[in-house]
Structure 1
Amino acid sequence: MANKRYASFFLFFTMPFSLLHKSYPQSVNQSSDEHQILLELKKHWEISPVLGRWSSNSAAHCNWGGITCTNGVVTGISLPNQTFIKPIPPSICLLKNLTYLDVSYNNISSPFPTVLYNCSNVKYLDLSNNAFAGKLPNDINSLSALLEHLNLSSNHFTGRIPPSIGLFPRLKSLLLDTNQFDGRYPAEDISKLAELERLTVAVNPFVPAPFPMEFGRLTRLTYLWLSNMNITGEIPESLSSLRELNLLDLSSNKLQGKIPTWIWQHRKLQYLYLYGNKFTGEIESNITALNLVEIDVSSNELTGMIPNGFGKLTNLTLLFLYFNKLNGSIPPCIGRLPKLTDIRLFNNMLSGSLPPELGKHSPLANLEVSNNNLSGELPEGLCFNRKLYDIVVFNNSFSGKLPSSLDGCHPLQNLMLYNNNFSGEFPRSLWSVVTDQLSVVMIQNNNFSGTFPAQLPWNFTRLDISNNRFSGPIPTLAGKMKVFRAANNLLSGEIPWDLTGISQVIEFDLSGNQISGSVPTTIGVLTRLNTLNLSGNQISGNIPAVFGFMTVLTILDLSLNKLSGDIPKDFNKLKLNFLNLSMNQLTGEIPISLQNEAYEQSFLFNPGLCVSSNNLVHNLPICRARTNINNDVSRRLIALFSSVGSIMLLGSAVLGIMLLRRKKHKQDHLSWKLTPFHILHFTANDILSGLCEQNWIGSGRSGKVYRVYAGDRASGGRMVAVKKIWNTPNLDDKLEKDFLAEVQILGEIRHTNIVKLLCCMSSSGAKLLVYEYMENGSLHQWLHQRERIGAPAPLDWPTRLQIAIDSARGLCYMHHHCSPPIVHRDVKSANILLDHNFRAKMADFGLAKILLGAGEDESFSAIAGTFGYMAPEYGHRIKMNEKIDVYSFGVVLLELITGRVANDGGEYYCLAQWAWRQYQENGLSVHLLDEGIRDATHVEDALDVFTLAVICTGEHPSMRPSMKDVLNMLIQFDRKPTGIQEKVIKKTCGLETVDIQNIE
């Protein structure tokens, strides 16, 4: 594509080449020449929204869009947002009077356009928001000496900024932000630009270094943006000389110490952004920077109280102090600020009440004070000026009724009041269709009362009123609803028959109410429903068979009702992670797919239920067919069975003697049985001969692991890994069959991201599993034992992300495309193996279950998980499902992101608890990341994956995502998929095996 692009450029270039000669004839009519030059420009860049209206039939090119003329000659070209791809042509500089050139927000992907060196009169040059790449030329000062504005921001420039950037004597605006410049800050060179008024060098991966004190010489600066460029240390006093500053943005660096006093006393400063650093101490109390309009010092480590001095800032519209360690009360004077629109103080240690006049004197639009210790009532005038769209006050101790100003607060979009002590009737107007903006209402865990209208507004997406005192019938739901939770209220009546309006809903919870009637068969229209909880009501009738066709349903709780009849056979089609039908009046045989240990607590206190004769896991009676066998037949059968029993007893005795003799005869000669799962080019003897100490490479709780070269090279021999998983003599025949049955399932798995189980070898004294060998060992070694394995460098971010995606793909296949699903039970970085290309594969899948079947019940908790990776439900929950793997995988993600071990013995016992505490108390910060992935390019993605990991390690299994969801989220962070990845992604979680090594 690139070659074609440049080929078309050179075709155009050769055509007007003669025009570029410096001896361009002066006698030619300048206007007609400019007209022709512009038409050639149109031909080069092809059709665009503006160029499409340039007409060759019109001689008045000064009237064309994007063209500015002075005294009849072209002096300006402004063509932003035109979808240009081709480079800037040299002919543009034939416009000798051109002083203004703007081609920003296009898709130009060439190196820096040195052809512009010939535009000797240009004063304003804007190349921003394109795809220009490569290094800036060392002679960039060959651009016009008249240049006053140079904007190269939001491109792909790399390398260091050349010293010649400081050789523009008239430059007033230099914008270099959002590129890939590295090396040291070009402070000394830029400080020579004495006329500079605007400077942006933000969002570049410079080498960490202290604040460039030289910038203090730029005394004419009004705009200084230096965020995300690895600045360390404190803000130097030399910057206090910048008395003309209007904006100061030093956010998302590594700055520390106290915020200097001169900042709070600056006479002209309007916009102050210092968030995402490590500033400590208290905020200056004597604030005299009265022109401040926006203050964001969030995500630091500030302490003390919010100063009363903020009440002097009559121009203040935005105040962000969240994610700090501020305490005390919020000064009442803040409630009297006349222009305040957005105040965010969440995640501090604030106490007392909100300013009583908050919202009464200003166009307040957003209020976020969640996760504090605030109390009292919400201010009466909160929505007095009818601008308020967000109220986020959850996790405090607010009480009383909601303010009357919320009655008819039509702009309101998000209302998050949960986990407080609010009471009284909820404003009925907020349920009104007139309130056409409100979409999220989360008011659970309060004492609200009231009823619903007949129908809720169409725009609701999430409604959670659980644990309140709402009463009356359930409203008709419609529109965009995704989550509806109304558990533990006083709702009554029947479930609405018309559910077609909420076909998008994924979670529906009416548990703990007074709902009666039957479950409507129209429940089947909820094809995206993932969670349904109707427990603890008075619902009667049969369970609709339509449940069997709700294919994405994973959590279903209908317990504590009055349901009767059979459980529909169509339940065999479901893949439920959680099912509870206990305490009803159900009868008949439980569907076969539910007769297993995963659902053994799902049918309690239903005396009419039964199971098939070959399945006793539910401790329920066996279903018996009605017969008319008379007593005579019964007596005959008894006699027959007695005779057969005697014969069998005699035969068993003879067989026992024979087995004892056989065992004694072979006690010194183990007989090995080899069960292949792939085409093998080696024999059992090849494996057994390699089980020697020099081939031993590791040990685990299940035994030793050996690296063995099996077979000879001529016949396709290969390196394999042999796991000797136990050594227990006296294994009976039942155990042998159980072992082979389990291993057979694992051996039949074919997936790129699961280590191949090549064969199994068993004898009466030992069991061997033979796997493909993975050259680069385990992820644990690369993350935590680099020095021991001699790794040259830590894993970079693209490699870590690919490992995460590969591992998730393997687990996703096991959970969602194996029947029955396979739960790994011991997901950890040591069980993620890497091949020669660092592609990851899951190992030891299902091994915990095999070991458990081998009679290791007493140590199941140890075998089936590793401390630091085990989900909280281990040990005290009888039924466990795939979500234990999701939890463990979340811990692996945390290892990849933070570089920490799963169990570091620290203050929080394990990595998952540490991460959760960091997330709650300090939010997202680059300091959470392993030093090897802290470059600015990937920080945002890495922190998003950190958030995903925290979600995966949630305490409640039902709240964790599925591995399919985890995989889809991880793939979204893979910004630039390779050819391999594109093909593999198409087969995500599929049954087809992809041989990565042979894709290309």
Structure 2
Amino acid sequence: MAKTQLTSLFFFFLFISIPITVIHSQAINDERAILLNLKQQLGNPPSISSWNSSSSPCVWPEIYCTAGSVTELHLREKDITEKIPPSICDLKNLTFLDLAWNFIPGEFPIMLYNCSKLQVLDLSQNYFVGQIPSDIDRLSSLISLDISGNNFSGNIPISIGKFPVLQRLYMLQNLFNGTFPKEIGNLSNLEELGMAYNPFIPMEIPREFGFLKKLTYLWMKETNLIGEIPESFNNLSSLQYFDLSINNLEGRVPSGLFSWENLTIVYLFKNHLSNEIPKAVDALNLVEVDLSQNNLTGTIPEVFGKLQSLRFLNLFSNQLTGELPAAIGSLPALKDFKVFQNKLTGVLPPEFGFHSKLEAFEVSENQFSGDLPGNLCAGGVLQGLVAHTNNLEGEIPRSLGDCRSLRTFQLQNNKFSGEIPSGLWRSFNLSTLMLSNNSFSGELPSRVAWNLSRVEISDNKFSGEIPAGISSWLNLVVFKASNNLFNGEITKEITNLSKLITLLLDGNELSGELPSEIISWESLNTLNVSRNKLSGQIPAAIGSLPDLINLDLSENRFTGEIPSGIGNLRPTSLNLSSNQLSGKIPEQLDNLAYENSFLHNTDLCADDPKLKLRDCNSILKHDRPKKSTHRYVTVIVSLAVVVSFVVFVMIFFIVRDYKRKKSSQSLETWKLTSFQRLNFSEWNILSNLVDDNLVGFGGSGKVYRIEIDRSGESVAVKKIGNHKKLDHKLEQEFSAEVEVLGSIRHRNIVKLLCCISSEDSKLLVYEYMENQSLDKWLHRNKGSFSSHLAVLDWPKRLKIAVGAAQGLCYMHHECPTPIIHRDVKSSNILLDIEFKAQIADFGLAKILARHASSHTMSTVAGSFGYLAPEYAYTTKVDTKVDVYSFGVVLLELVTGREANSANENMGLVEWARQHSLNDQSIIEILDPEVKESSCLEEMIMVCKVGVVCTRPSPSTRPSMREVLHVLQSWCSEDGQEAKKVGSEFDVMPLLGGAGATYFSSYRYDEGDNKVYNV
């Protein structure tokens, strides 16, 4: 009986389960059909090619299922360009929809109202336009809504405050130019609110926002806020992140604002707050405070010294006065302390650094006096000490000489004295040492830190000779030692510093001749040795320095003629006054542009009378020799010419036969490795490596242009090495170039045709680029090739920017293993006959491991002015170091300035950042040669992109994919303006996670044929 009952139960459940299985299978089939139809309506994006009719949707990467039914759809960054089809809501159980970072056009998709179970909706970073619908609250189940980075405009509707369960609301970086409603304060469950970067009409913060008691995150940066912060904000007891920066707020910070128990970060910088910092700062859990770039006045409240958890105190760029509270120096968690650009006085608390591990200490541009605290590096992690432009005095504490973590040390414009601690010069990671305008004394050391690239010690009392050991300062880029007491000769070992860009030795007591072996200074653009006792002739090699634009040799005892090569340089600034020079000045310098360059040289002459020099023609007449003497000289010279010609012909044939014999014997020692189909042999290349074909010098060798057939087709050949054996570094660069270029193909990356190698030399053969490198076109005042170039117009510059971005984007995002170039600069962007850009010179490139996000380098390599700051600090590199360098190139394109010389006081990045606050300020720095009303908007956009790419923190820079997307939006394939949506972006890492990127937008409106921006 029991057995019969069990059998009956078995069949009963079997008959029940069969229909359930059938129903489940049918549901899967239905949802698969819906999704395949959706894919077709979205234009069959290649990125969702895994969707097919033979597998369950629940195994597709973009789909998540619950109980066998589709509940989540993840279509972020899938290159979708079509509108959202209504069929998407046929997925009846859909709760999560992510369509961010696509190209979806149209107005807000009200068809999503039919997705009745939708809880998370992310439409950010698309091309949506128009107003938010007034009945948006019909999406009543939403927990999270993100519409950031679109073109929504007008008012934010009152209905936005009617979501009953909404926890996250992000509307930042749109074109909202109306109002936002006080009803947002009714969202009782809201935890995160982001409204930043919107051009709302000027309005006050509604007091109702103070009712959001669950709010942990409030981001209303640059939203045109006015008035005071409402007192009701004292009720925001859960707030952790608070940003109201770049607005027009005024009045006092509410008295209870810092008493929130869980507050961790406050950002109020760059407002127009005019009252004092409130004294009610008593939150012991406060971790970071940033009130920088305001107009705050008064003293720093004593209560800041009670914040035992405070790690980051940032009060710079205000009008603060008075002394620092002594207790701040004793805070146990303090890491970053920045109060520069205020009016603070008194002494720096001596306890700074003794109780905490300080990493950054920046107190410059105040009125501090007394000694520098001696314990700043007690924790052993201090990276930056910036205390310039104060009234500090005394000696540098000996303890700082043992601080191996220091990377930048800036004490210029103070009253310090004594000698520099010997250990400071050799501090392991030190890259910048700036001590100008003090009373320091002592001599220069022979050994310094391996990475020291900038030394500024002008206007002090340093003495002695420049040591021969300076040849070991191999990474030195800037050396400013004006107005000291140095004596003796300028040692020839200083010519070993091949990375030098600026060398200032003026105002000393140096004597002897200027070293003639200066050809290695190929990057030097400024040389000033004026006001010394130098003698002898000016070395002819100065005229072969390709980048030299500022030359001052005045007030010395130089004799002889001016080398003709200096004329070829056409320097921007030239001063050879007050010497004993003679002869005719070079023809290229015989014009009014150099009217003050040759004063007080009595034996110099010129053809142009406006230069106020003697007339060369009258001198020739006066000194003409007698006729008989002239006849004898003519006969002697003629005989010498004939003899010389005969000897030359004999030597030519002997040498030619020898070379042919030697070449035929040695050809077997060369190995050719091809990467493309070749129409030449190694003999075509090797036989033409002669000086007549030499077109330039690279960082690792010579560059030749060689014709390979009678049609004039040419190749570029880079010869790595010379008559000596290759060193290990050059071998590494050759291997890196071959490894990278031999394995990748892209239209915007220079094509490596083959390599030819022997024991002593390596040859790399590329396509020849007729228009050479970008820097020669942008900076036309240097080099023989550049001198006759026309102005590079803006459409070409924008086309070049897009092409270079395409090449870098391919390297970073499309190669099987990402490639970091590490030396992106305008001289490494080559241009073909049609000005198509190609990335070149991969000698420093690194291929990342497949899953690696960064790579640690044993040495820092790259070019000064283009190096990302974190590269010099940490030697850890990822793709963001290329983004930084590319940003510098963009700034070169829009300003026409060089990376290291925007003006005499700062580099291009800092200069552009100071002018990036508004469009009018940006217009002032645009290249006047191409600045026209028709291209202003594009140039402003590219300048802002460059500023964002060069942000100090790598996490706040965009990826090259994002940069390319922005640039392509303004430039079509043929280089003309693209009539499609473009965007200007800003990057801001979100706290509490890995970070996220948000974009504000420029948008093209087909209706009125205009481009609108934030």
TM-score (norm 2): 0.57
The answer on whether the counterparts of 1:246 and 1:269 sit within 8 Å (CA) in structure 2 is yes
Assess if the C-alpha contact under 8 Å between 2:571 and 2:781 holds in 1: no
1:186 aligned residue (181, 185, 208):
181
Preserved CA contact (<8 Å) 2:153 2:178: no
Aligned 8 A contact 1:233 1:255 in 2: yes
Return the match for 1:435 from 421, 428, 433: 428
Distance, in Å, in 2 between the alignment partners of 1:970 and 1:548 is 40
Change in Cα spacing, 1:981 to 1:300, as seen in structure 2 (3 Å) is farther
Spell out the pairing of 1:323-722 with structure 2 (5 A cutoff).
323-432=317-426, 435-436=428-429, 438-454=430-446, 459-470=451-462, 471-473=464-466, 475-476=470-471, 481-492=476-487, 495=490, 497=492, 505-550=500-545, 552-612=547-607, 617-618=612-613, 623-625=619-621, 626-627=623-624
* 8 Å contact kept, 2:100–2:126: yes
1:74 to 70, 73, 87: 70
- Map Cα deviations across residues 408-449 of structure 1 (whole Å, 9 max, x no partner): 4344333222101223332444443x724x333322112334
Tell me, yes or no, if the aligned pair for 1:439 and 1:461 is still in contact at 8 Å.
Answer: yes
How much does 1:73 deviate?
3.3
- Structure 1: runs of 5+ lacking an equivalent: 1-24, 631-808, 822-915, 930-937, 950-961, 986-1000
Could you tell me whether the CA contact under 8 Å between 1:48 and 1:84 is conserved in 2? Answer: no
Q: Once the 2 structures are TM-superposed, how far is the Cα of residue 350 of structure 1 from its aligned partner?
A: 0.8
**Residue aligning to 1:167:** 162
- Which of 199, 206, 224 is equivalent to 1:212? 206
1:259-290 per-position Cα deviation (integer Å, ceiling 9, x unaligned):
22121333333222222222223222343223
Q: What's the offset of the Cα at 1:237?
A: 2.2
Report if aligned partners of 1:428, 1:452 keep a CA contact under 8 Å in 2.
Answer: no
Q: Counterpart of 1:296 in structure 2: which amino acid?
A: D
Against the structure 1 CA distance between its residues 183 and 487, is the aligned structure 2 distance closer, same or farther, given a 3 Å change threshold? same
Q: Which residue of 2 aligns with 1:95?
A: 91
* CA contact 2:173–2:196 (8 Å) conserved in 1: yes
How far apart are residue 468 of structure 1 and its match? 2.4
The amino acid across from 2:437 in the alignment is N
* 1:138 and 2:105 are equivalent in the alignment: no
The alpha carbon displacement at 1:525 in A equals 4.5
CA distance in 1, matches of 2:911, 2:325: 28
Q: CA deviation at 1:403?
A: 3.0
Closer/same/farther in 2, CA of residues 30 and 212 from structure 1, 3 Å limit: same
8 Å contact kept, 1:394–1:419: yes
Structure ID, larger Rg? 1
- Provide the secondary structure at the position in 2 that maps to 1:248: strand
> Alignment length, in residue pairs?
654
The answer to whether the 8 Å contact 2:604/2:614 transfers is: no
Q: What are the ranges of 5 or more consecutive residues in structure 2 without an aligned counterpart?
A: 1-21, 628-777, 791-902, 943-968, 979-1014
Residues 292, 316 of structure 1: 8 Å contact kept: yes
State the shift of 1:460 in Å. 4.2
Residue 134 to residue 500, structure 1, CA distance change in 2 (3 Å): farther
How far apart are 1:573 and its partner, in Å?
Answer: 2.6
Aligned partner letter, 1:295? V
Q: Give the match for residue 299 of structure 2.
A: 305
Change (3 A) 1:206 1:451: same
Distance 1:175 1:616 in 2: 67
CA distance in 2, matches of 1:214, 1:495: 72
Give per-residue Cα distances to partners, 1:735-789, cap 9 Å, x unaligned. xxxxxxxxxxxxxxxxxxxxxxxxxxxxxxxxxxxxxxxxxxxxxxxxxxxxxxx
- Taking structure 1 as reference, are residues 39 and 431 closer, same or farther at Cα in structure 2, changes over 3 Å only? farther
Question: What SS does the corresponding residue of 2:357 show, helix, strand or coil?
Answer: coil
Contact 1:151 1:176 in 2 (8 A): yes
- Spell out the pairing of 1:14-163 with structure 2 (5 A cutoff): 29-34=26-31, 44=42, 51=48, 54=50, 59=55, 62=58, 65-82=61-78, 84-143=80-139, 145-163=140-158
1:537–1:818 CA distance, 2 compared to 1 (3 A): closer
Q: Which amino acid is 2:65 matched to?
A: C
Could you state the TM-score of these two structures normalised by the residue count of structure 1? Answer: 0.58
**2:323 corresponds to which letter in structure 1?**
S
In the alignment, residue 110 of structure 2 is paired with which amino acid? T
Determine helix, strand or coil for the equivalent of 2:578. Answer: coil
SS at match of 1:272: strand
- SS state at 1:573 partner: helix
- Partner SS state of residue 29, structure 1: helix
- CA distance change for structure 1 residues 965 and 322 in 2, over 3 Å: closer, same or farther? farther
**Shift in alpha-carbon separation, 1:371–1:593, aligned structure 2, 3 A:** same
The structure-2 alpha-carbon separation of the partners of 1:46 and 1:391, relative to structure 1 and needing over 3 Å to count, comes to farther
- Compute the displacement of 1:104 (Å): 3.1
Residue type of the partner of 2:113? Y
Q: Whole-Å Cα distance in 2 between the matches of residues 812 and 124 of structure 1?
A: 57
After superposition, give the CA deviation of every residue in 1:689-723 in whole Å (9 maximum; x if it has no partner). xxxxxxxxxxxxxxxxxxxxxxxxxxxxxxxxxxx
State how 1:535-934 maps to structure 2 within 5 Å: 535-550=530-545, 552-612=547-607, 617-618=612-613, 623-625=619-621, 626-627=623-624
What is aligned with 2:678? none
Whole-angstrom distance in 2 between the partners of 1:925 and 1:566 = 41
State the AA in 2 paired with 1:467.
Answer: D
Deviation at 1:163, TM superposition (A): 2.8
Distance 1:70 1:469, change over 3 A: farther
**1:289 equivalent in alignment to 2:283:** yes
CA drift at 1:331 = 0.9
Q: 1:362 is paired with a residue of what secondary structure? A: coil
2:940 to 947, 950, 973: 973
CA contact (8 A) 1:431 1:452 kept: no
What per-residue deviation string (whole Å, max 9, x for no partner) do you get for residues 168-219 of structure 1? 211121111121111122223x233232222222211011122222323333
Mapped contact 1:455–1:476 kept (Cα < 8 A): no
Residue 279 in structure 1 maps to residue 273 in structure 2? yes
* Deviation of 1:396 (Å): 0.2
Note closer, same or farther for the CA distance 1:92–1:391 as it changes in structure 2 (3 Å cut): farther
Q: What is the rounded CA distance, in whole Å, between the counterparts of 1:973 and 1:500 in structure 2? A: 41
Q: Percent identity?
A: 41
Aligned mates of 1:545, 1:162 — CA distance in 2: 74
Deviations 1:589-623 (A, max 9, x none): 23344445554443344344344596671368953
- Equivalent residue, structure 2, for 1:647: none
Q: 1:969 to 1:567 in 2, by over 3 A?
A: farther
Residues 209 and 233 in structure 2, CA contact (< 8 A), matched pair in contact too: yes
CA deviation digits over 1:779-822, x for unaligned, max 9? xxxxxxxxxxxxxxxxxxxxxxxxxxxxxx9x999xx999999x
Distance 1:600 1:819 in 2: 22
Q: Is the 8 A contact 1:417 1:442 kept in 2?
A: yes
Deviation per residue, 1:81-117 (Å, 9 max, x gap):
5555455454543433232233434444454333433
Distance 1:549 1:263, change over 3 A: same
Q: How far apart are residue 395 of structure 1 and its match?
A: 0.6
Q: Hey, what's the Cα distance between the residues in 1 that align with 2:189 and 2:62?
A: 29
Q: CA deviation at 1:577?
A: 3.9
What secondary structure sits across from 1:333 in the alignment?
helix
Q: Distance in 2 between matches of 1:406 and 1:283?
A: 33
8 Å CA contact 2:570, 2:781 repeated in 1: no
Could you tell me how far apart the structure 1 residues matched to 2:977 and 2:37 are? 45
